[in-house]
Structure 1
């Protein structure tokens, strides 16, 4: 599958809107697009999936390793993959859009804000293309997509100013309908605030789809892992996964990894669903702070607490950690009882408390890692934990903040709750799948 990276000159330049318009243009031209996102993100990919009804691939060499990133790419389907970048093209301490493009050998189309520029848009693009040589990176900047550009003289001026080796792939017109509401952690999820399809189709008309398809190329193939391509439909092992508006941050590769060796059974704590009888339980991140009352009164967390006391392996990431704690207090001052498995009280803050790629070193055996093993992931949260005096941790922080600046992975019984989100290629879920099947 050929692909192209849509990279920004900076954060906030409109990469998500440009990506959605490009996906729309491809669909309207009869292609089946496969969306993807560079770096750690759950929110932008939710908009991709809501638009084209295809899970968006998470491409990050820190989270998955170089080969794991390639395997993740090749598990996608479709005619052409559109990879939305993260921040500006060259920005990022551990993973940049440039690193993803170089690792996959994909051409870059630069999204440039043209609202107040014309010849300067071309100068900006030329600078980004030449900067790769300065840092010794093999980055192929193929051309630009002009964000917030008018037609007529404005578009012609941008196109004419570009050097011959930079292609003009079209523009995204300035439209009030092309704005996505945001909140803490970023944009609202695609299921909540998807862009108007008519507006996207209007924007798609100004994108040169055929030029985009012509410049796309395929990354090198890598050997697939047998476990990642297996079918767990007949496996004895079962894993229950929370999936609803409070627990909505799950990478497709995680589901694929679990389905390879287990039957995956989703349930909704917000709806008060019964917890499936399973060998292990996974609580991904999301927005439990928006659903405190439902989680407190629904009864599902009480059942999870009972399962934890019975020794069922449970892994909670960020929002899952919050739900497994004693209590959760919102920024409005409302406090809700949570599962009470982990000895911490969680309180939401007005600004983010951590944002970075992380690396953890296991202090002891747990459902996530064996003693001494390392796990890589990322953290991004607005909450802080007040710990009981008897709190114990599964991990030391090699990189990142974790729960208390030095540790992550609160643990009790056979339960671990972290602020770290792990990718399906990280190895964390191999350990969860390795637990013996229970007689259920």
Structure 2
């Protein structure tokens, strides 16, 4: 059994101040000299970028639906190694899970990790009613352990007295309305870390308005982390022969589940990163283009030397794998929301068009059908969230059959053209998928 001080910062609903409060607590704890390991419940990529920037430790996703409970515990333990405290930001409202269930909710993760919860409540427009709201949350599921509550968007001292007076669990913070506690948004969510300068100033603000000593005490009061089944292996190498996987990582392509990198390494892959915006394509056995914002960087991507290099690599049969933004870039063109069309890498028989409303938002479950280097019958789980629509040619081939999720076209995802495979699904690899991924690269390179 492993003992890791841990606390979950949950919210009553999206927009209550949960992200800025969680990031501010992380920053304040780090300012005290603690090594803070951040986590994010759910499939989100943007909040973890803020956590990582604040804590200087890579934030990890914790999602029971995609990962399974055992892999979630393994990720939590391995990522927390060497940390003084783990701070976990929740997703949506505390009890909001998949299909009106608790699965992959913040409460679900709290129970898996036996972690105490701090509930963030937006008290704008209410006073004594805050106590009724808190009472409902704390009594809804008795298996969730509450450390206390933090009230945000507070007003006058009279407002404070009215909101706090009847709350019967510890009040760990009263955060007044402030521009510091807001982060700008674009499609897909908040601005990425580095694009909003406010978060770096939240540490002293949170220190002033929250009881950090009580937060730390609650985290220290968490018991041992539950054990995973004995004998379960998080990933095994496929042999002494390694493959080199080059991963696009810059402002255009930055949405990845970091566990995927670990699973690839465990499966025998050497990982290197490059920027399609500025770099030549490095020599590698496969290329991985994740999601992100290619539509915001089309001019630089078009002029990058990487574009022609990538075409030559694909023509030579080297596997190229893309997800969401990677899918868009690997097609023939992207049309922005204001109607401007730009040519892209041209490796897939498809065009993508940006819209002002999201086109898909859901978890995905699928199986490969054997049209790509991944082979046939490989099951996977993941998530899709995009504002674009991609239209493939009528004779296009797909490799993913989705039993859940929209994909590119009516449950078909994973567009294939030669050695190139890309879909809207952000896949969570897991041990088995990573082994098959690496094996598929090896087989492709021997053909």
Normalised to the residue count of structure 1, the TM-score between the two structures is 0.92
- Please give the alpha-carbon distance, in whole angstroms, between the structure 2 residues aligned to 1:246 and 1:278: 20
Evaluate the alpha carbon distance shift between residue 173 and residue 127 of structure 1 in structure 2; reply closer, same or farther with a 3 A threshold: same
- Please give the alpha-carbon distance, in whole angstroms, between the structure 2 residues aligned to 1:228 and 1:160: 52
The secondary structure found in structure 1 opposite 2:140 is: helix
1:385, distance to aligned residue in structure 2 (A): 1.2
Evaluate the alpha carbon distance shift between residue 331 and residue 54 of structure 1 in structure 2; reply closer, same or farther with a 3 A threshold: same
1:351, distance to aligned residue in structure 2 (A): 0.6
| Residues 1:69 and 2:72 aligned together | yes
> 1:295 maps to which residue?
301
> 2:409 maps to which residue?
404
1:60, distance to aligned residue in structure 2 (A): 0.1
Match for 2:135 among 118, 126, 147? 126
Match for 2:176 among 173, 179, 189? 173
Match for 2:191 among 173, 188, 191? 188
What residue ranges of structure 1 are gaps of 5+ in the alignment? none
- Please give the alpha-carbon distance, in whole angstroms, between the structure 2 residues aligned to 1:312 and 1:224: 36
Deviations 1:382-406 (A, max 9, x none): 0101211220100111001000122
Structural mapping, 1:168-247, within 5 Å: 168-216=171-219, 217=222, 218-222=224-228, 228=235, 236-247=242-253
Match for 1:431 among 415, 428, 436? 436
| Residues 1:42 and 2:13 aligned together | no
Range with bigger deviation, 257-266 or 407-416:
257-266
Deviations 1:329-386 (A, max 9, x none): 1112111111211111111111100001111122225334x32222100000001012
Match for 1:107 among 103, 116, 119? 116
> 2:400 maps to which residue?
395
Range with bigger deviation, 258-267 or 411-420:
258-267
- Please give the alpha-carbon distance, in whole angstroms, between the structure 1 residues aligned to 2:343 and 2:207: 47
| Matched residue count | 430
Structural mapping, 1:47-62, within 5 Å: 47-62=50-65
Evaluate the alpha carbon distance shift between residue 361 and residue 331 of structure 1 in structure 2; reply closer, same or farther with a 3 A threshold: same
The secondary structure found in structure 2 opposite 1:87 is: coil
Root mean square deviation of aligned Cα: 2.3
- Please give the alpha-carbon distance, in whole angstroms, between the structure 2 residues aligned to 1:151 and 1:84: 28
Normalised to the residue count of structure 2, the TM-score between the two structures is 0.90
| Residues 1:143 and 2:165 aligned together | no
Deviations 1:228-253 (A, max 9, x none): 598x9x97421101011000112221
Match for 1:11 among 9, 14, 26? 14
Evaluate the alpha carbon distance shift between residue 182 and residue 264 of structure 1 in structure 2; reply closer, same or farther with a 3 A threshold: same
> 1:269 maps to which residue?
276
Match for 1:347 among 353, 365, 368? 353
- Please give the alpha-carbon distance, in whole angstroms, between the structure 1 residues aligned to 2:431 and 2:56: 26
The secondary structure found in structure 2 opposite 1:22 is: helix
The secondary structure found in structure 2 opposite 1:405 is: coil
- Please give the alpha-carbon distance, in whole angstroms, between the structure 2 residues aligned to 1:209 and 1:338: 49
Paired residues of 1:270 and 1:298 also in contact (CA < 8 A)? yes
Evaluate the alpha carbon distance shift between residue 302 and residue 390 of structure 1 in structure 2; reply closer, same or farther with a 3 A threshold: farther
Evaluate the alpha carbon distance shift between residue 288 and residue 150 of structure 1 in structure 2; reply closer, same or farther with a 3 A threshold: same
The secondary structure found in structure 1 opposite 2:121 is: strand
Range with bigger deviation, 327-336 or 429-438:
429-438
